[in-house]
Structure 1
């Protein structure tokens, strides 16, 4: 039973942030799809521009890939902003919950523990906030798209996909 209440405080803090995390997942989907723009650009340059000497095609491809890179940048910045807002909310709610727990403790218990104990408690809270808002959150949002990349590589070039599967 104690294990259930130990987890419920974190769920209570993270539950209001579920829409933000869904938004991050949608942005990550589009960021990962846009990341395919550069390899497709290179493939098209080799297939159409170099082989047929199509400079007009090259101009159109460069314009297209510039737009893709711009959208990729905008989406990454927006995803970063959403994660920063989530980090702020986690920080506020986690700090509030931690303050309420610590202030509810009897004074005798507060005095019996060394200051390093309380310092590590707040440092652990900072670790939780960083886990849900930093590079770990971005990695967790992008990991589900690895199978999509592998399938797309299989469609484009099966031998390269087998090499990719061996590496992964």
Structure 2
């Protein structure tokens, strides 16, 4: 049985300003079902920048959602953006261990190693709220409330899901269990 994953580490090529202006780290091929259960995003440098060494962690965010990537790169693979509600700037050397895949899920033991390098727990970091485009704090991700959802037919749901995922309507199957 695999250990539960508590964070996602990514080998990011974008500067901090770009990640913060977009609202998260983007264009990742990942398992959304696993990723959405993680609490933290750990961005590691894929090259030296701003006096930080390659392979160092430079930003830790509290994950709020995993959404389709806004990255315009042409690709046949579905890519995701990891959004976060709060972030902390850090400089932790040698976090990235030359893993081949640029997305790595961390379990509690790997988080503990990271916290030892940091000298405190991730919860103790000085997290800042994400800002909207005009410098206002970004609201926390709100859970979808049933009263805001209108009833749908199966056909309407399939059409909406097909549009969201960029697939043919016939590729959508809906199972209702009672």
Larger strand proportion of the pair:
2
Same fold (TM over 0.5): no
Instruction: Give the structure, 1 or 2, with the largest relative contact order (CA under 8 Å, sep 6 or more).
Output: 1
Relative to the length of structure 2, the TM-score reads: 0.19
